[in-house]
């Protein structure tokens, strides 16, 4: 069982990524709007970062931690293939969660300006929508801290922090900035003040520290499910990138030359290149 201070550190890491979302509102303190071109580039950047974090961080670590489940081996499955089963189960579970959650909230529109007026039912809907997008990122942070104070790592405030945890915290923090921009754009059009845009951007990511603590607690108690946890976070994030981030970028780029494919590709490449050096540490 992890000590209380370990849970606190994981919560702070998740909170840092949530606060980073608020940085997306900062440009609106000096400009009235962000162009579609830059929006497409930023969504591409966020997508590249998430894909890199999922593949080079979560999936890679999941494979390294994988061990075959006994019942799978008992079925006569090749041991090499059997080792990947927990990770694959996690990947599919992450995708399934996002699909089911989207089915539940499909067609619901939430106006951030009315949050304070929302009744209990609407607040549950709002939290559900935010959780679908932010909770998997919190899970990614939580599972990345699984080896906190267990197997070396980087010394920090008396903790031995795994390099993967640093990688994921940095990756999701950077990724959250474009999300904050996307959240702030409609708020700007509704006349919401700059500081309130910062607040709502941060609010949209508050499920992350909660998801981080829950996932960390689970994998520390049931470490045999660690590869499943890595797969779950990676599956959910990759699915969100492919079904939401990239389509959002392409929709914004419809009025640009070549429909913004160049800007999207450029953002993707930069996002991947930014994270690869951290992944190789």
Q: Is residue 87 part of a domain?
A: yes
Q: Is residue 30 part of a domain?
A: no
Statement: residue 176 has pLDDT above 90:
no
pLDDT confidence of residue 272: 87
Q: Which domain holds residue 44?
A: 4-24+35-279
pLDDT confidence of residue 4: 85
Number of domains in the chain: 1
How far apart are alpha carbons 253 and 236 in whole angstroms? Answer: 25
Question: Residue 260: how many CB atoms within 10 A of its CB?
Answer: 24
How far apart are alpha carbons 102 and 129 in whole angstroms? Answer: 8
- What is the average per-residue pLDDT within 247-267? 88
Q: Is residue 115 part of a domain?
A: yes
Query: For 1-36, how does the pLDDT look when each residue is reduced to its tens digit (9 = 90+)?
Result: 468 888 999 999 999 999 999 998 898 888 877 788
- What is the average per-residue pLDDT within 59-82? 71
Buried b / exposed e across 74-112, counting CB within 10 Å, b at 16+? eeebeeeebbbbbbbbbbeebbebbeebeeeeeeeeeeb
Q: Residue 132 contacts by C-beta under 8 Å, 6 or more apart in sequence?
A: 98, 101, 102, 105
Q: Is residue 89 part of a domain?
A: yes
Contact at 8 Å (CB) between 176 and 106?
Answer: no
Question: Across all residues in the chain, what is the average pLDDT?
Answer: 80
For the chain, percent of residues with pLDDT exceeding 90: 14
pLDDT confidence of residue 126: 52
Question: Which is more confident, 47 or 275?
Answer: 47
Q: Is residue 172 part of a domain?
A: yes
Q: Is residue 29 part of a domain?
A: no
How far apart are alpha carbons 63 and 258 in whole angstroms? Answer: 39
Q: Which stretch of 10-24, 79-93, 112-126 has the lowest confidence by average pLDDT?
A: 112-126
Q: Is residue 56 part of a domain?
A: yes
Q: Is residue 234 part of a domain?
A: yes
**Among 28, 88, 59, 45, which residue's Cα sits nearest to residue 266?**
45
């Amino acid at each position: 069982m992890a000590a209380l201070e370990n849970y606190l550190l994981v919560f702070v890491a998740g909170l840092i990524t949530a606060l980073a979302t608020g940085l997306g509102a900062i440009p609106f303190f000096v400009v009235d709007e962000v162009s579609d071109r830059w929006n497409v580039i930023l969504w591409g950047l966020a997508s590249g970062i998430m894909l890199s974090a999922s593949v080079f961080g979560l999936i890679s670590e999941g494979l390294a931690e994988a061990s075959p489940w006994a019942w799978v081996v008992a079925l006569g499955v090749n041991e090499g293939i059997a080792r990947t089963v927990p990770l694959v189960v996690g990947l599919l579970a992450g995708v399934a969660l996002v699909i089911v959650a989207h089915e539940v909230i499909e067609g619901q529109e939430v106006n951030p300006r009315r949050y304070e007026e929302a009744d209990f039912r609407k607040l549950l809907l709002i939290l559900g929508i935010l959780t679908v997008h932010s909770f998997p990122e919190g899970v990614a942070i939580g599972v990345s801290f699984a080896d906190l104070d267990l197997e070396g790592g980087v010394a920090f405030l008396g903790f031995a922090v795994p390099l993967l945890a640093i990688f994921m915290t940095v990756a999701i923090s950077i990724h959250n900035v474009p999300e904050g921009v996307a959240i702030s754009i409609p708020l700007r059009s509704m006349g919401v003040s700059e500081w309130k845009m910062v607040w709502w951007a941060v609010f949209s990511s508050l499920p992350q520290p909660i998801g981080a603590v829950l996932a960390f607690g689970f994998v520390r108690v049931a470490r045999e499910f660690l590869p499943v946890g890595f797969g779950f976070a990676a599956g959910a994030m990759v699915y969100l990138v492919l079904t939401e981030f990239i389509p959002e970028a392409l929709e914004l780029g419809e009025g640009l030359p070549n429909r913004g494919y160049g800007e999207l590709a450029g953002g993707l490449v930069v996002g991947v290149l930014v994270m690869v050096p951290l992944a190789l540490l």
